[in-house]
Amino acid sequence: MTIQWHYENRPQQAGVLSLSGFLGADSTARFAGAVGWTLARGDGPLILDLSGLQGWSPQGRDTVVAAAGRLAEHGRSLELAGLPADEVALEQRTGDPVIRCHQDLESALAAHPAPRVGPEREADPQSWRTGGWPEP
């Protein structure tokens, strides 16, 4: 089983990358590609929504840590929202980049409120997803 992903770039706010499936050794390249997608199409913090994830292996968790380091190289941070269905939390190890964790996506987004805008309207969020992601 591989992962599916959905990315929403929220202008002037954090981007959200949501995952579903199982993040194991066979899906680390797909996850790294999704992170690359977010680097090319967004800025600011990236919230990784784990609420739709069935679980993750040690290799999957290591890939998330590597993604945090990759984002930090570009001046961006990685934050986690929720736990995967197997409820295995990410344990921070010495030397790992700091990854802020939130109870759920709602609380993660509340930590990054959109700034108040003037009379001109801000751009609407843009989103991309893999072919296996369910239609809205």
- 4-98 topology per CATH: Transcription Regulator spoIIAA (3.30.750)
Distance CA 64, CA 101 (A): 12
Phi, psi of 66 (to 5 degrees): -60, -35
Residue spans per domain, the chain? 4-98
Phi, psi of 43 (to 5 degrees): -150, 170
Question: Confidence band (pLDDT; 50, 70, 90) for 122?
Answer: low
Which secondary structure element, helix H or strand E, spans residue 136, and what is its range? none
Which secondary structure element, helix H or strand E, spans residue 130, and what is its range? none
Beta strands in 24-88 (DSSP E): 46-56, 78-81
Output the pLDDT for position 85: 87
Predicted TM-score (pTM) of this structure: 0.87
Joined together, the tokens standing for residue 82 give: 């929720």
> Would the pLDDT of 12 be above 70?
no
Question: Confidence band (pLDDT; 50, 70, 90) for 128?
Answer: low
Distance CA 20, CA 4 (A): 5
Residue with token string 């984002």: 71
Angle between the N-to-C axes of helices 28-41 and 58-73, in degrees from 0 to 180, rounded to the nearest 10: 20
What is the separation, in whole angstroms, between the first and last Cα of the chain? 22
